Structure 1
């Protein structure tokens, strides 16, 4: 997220990830394709991020 300007949807999506990690300690990247994430991006993170950022996001979650 450090490169460029993030959209409101991107910020909200990342905030949801941070909240999950804070509550649970870990996160399976497959959860990005389930509620509550799909409430914001019904088709998954690719709806709010480009492919490269989705790849980097998933690798950081792991």
Structure 2
């Protein structure tokens, strides 16, 4: 049985889909590498920003 979410608007669902696809495509394959290095590589971090995955600016 699937729960129908009513608190999200269409733009929220589009954002969730975009993030999920980015994670599947760019992050999941690199997870073992990052675990070993103890950090996310710079290129993936910058790519997330270019694709809108880091919308908050400023402190805290």
TM-score by length of 2: 0.39
Larger Rg belongs to: 2
Structure with more relative contact order (C-alpha pairs < 8 Å, separation 6 or more): 1
For normalisation by structure 1, the TM-score amounts to 0.38
